[in-house]
Structure 1
Amino acid sequence: MAQLQLGDALKDFLNKSNLRSGLRAVQIESIWEEVMGKTIARYTDKIQIINNTLFVYTAVAALKQELVYQKPKIIERVNEALREKAITDVIIK
């Protein structure tokens, strides 16, 4: 049996398990303010990831409209912060 580094073994486990999207969601929540700014983070109610799609929930209509226009930038910024192509689409609710 080949020997793996602990970090490599954990990455392999996460890639094969269903925990990956939950872990990404936690990572995104922790960097959301840094990526999008304090104002947007303050009025964002919930962030969720399902099948590489980022769901952003907010009750503020003006913010919803602004985020719709920023979808490509959100994808770019989040993927850059995570250092992987984790998000392919954004849905604003």
Structure 2
Amino acid sequence: MTRLKKTTSLGDALRELVRNLGMEGKLEEQQAVDRWPRVVGERVAAHARAVFFDGGKLFVECDSATWSQELHYMKPDILKQLDQSLGRPLVRDIIFTNTRR
């Protein structure tokens, strides 16, 4: 009699692969960037774009100094919302820079 192999869902297989490759942290960091529009909403996301995550800092490009300043004042609330969205306090700081699109 032959044994049946245990089946694994694709999601479980991918999670195991990411863990085996030691990329869990990088995946979480990318989630912080990807969730930015959902956390801040469409209106803010139209003027400020998360571009990368490094060393606990999320770097966000704003299309004007006005938006950069406004978001700086909103930073504590945004950090709390990111923590809730990610399920843990991954983002320690947000760095806002100005850029023209």
TM-score by length of 2: 0.67
Q: Select 2:54's aligned residue among 50, 53, 56.
A: 50
What is the alpha-carbon root mean square deviation over aligned residues? 2.8
Tell me which of 82, 86, 93 is aligned to 1:89: 93
**2:16 aligned partner, one-letter code:** L
Q: Deviations over 1:41-80 (max 9, x none)?
A: 1112442110111111112221101111111111111111
Structure 1 segments unaligned to the other structure (5+ residues): 1-5
Following superposition, the deviation at residue 26 of structure 1 comes to 3.2
Structure of higher CA gyration radius: 2
In 1, Cα distance between equivalents of 2:81 and 2:29 = 15
Equivalence map 1:23-62=2 (5 Å): 23-62=27-66
Q: Is the 8 A contact 1:24 1:49 kept in 2?
A: no
Q: Look up the match of 1:64.
A: 68
Distance 1:46 1:12 in 2: 23
Q: Does 1:74 find its partner at 2:78? A: yes
Q: Amino acid of the residue matched to residue 59 of structure 1?
A: D
Find the residue that maps to 2:58 and give its secondary structure. strand
Distance 1:43 1:64 in 2: 9
How many residues matched? Answer: 86
Q: Could you report, residue by residue, the CA deviation over 1:18-52 in whole angstroms, capped at 9, with x for unpaired residues?
A: 5623x234323432222101111111244211011
Match for residue 19 of structure 2?
Answer: 13
Structure 2 unmatched ranges of 5 or more: 1-11
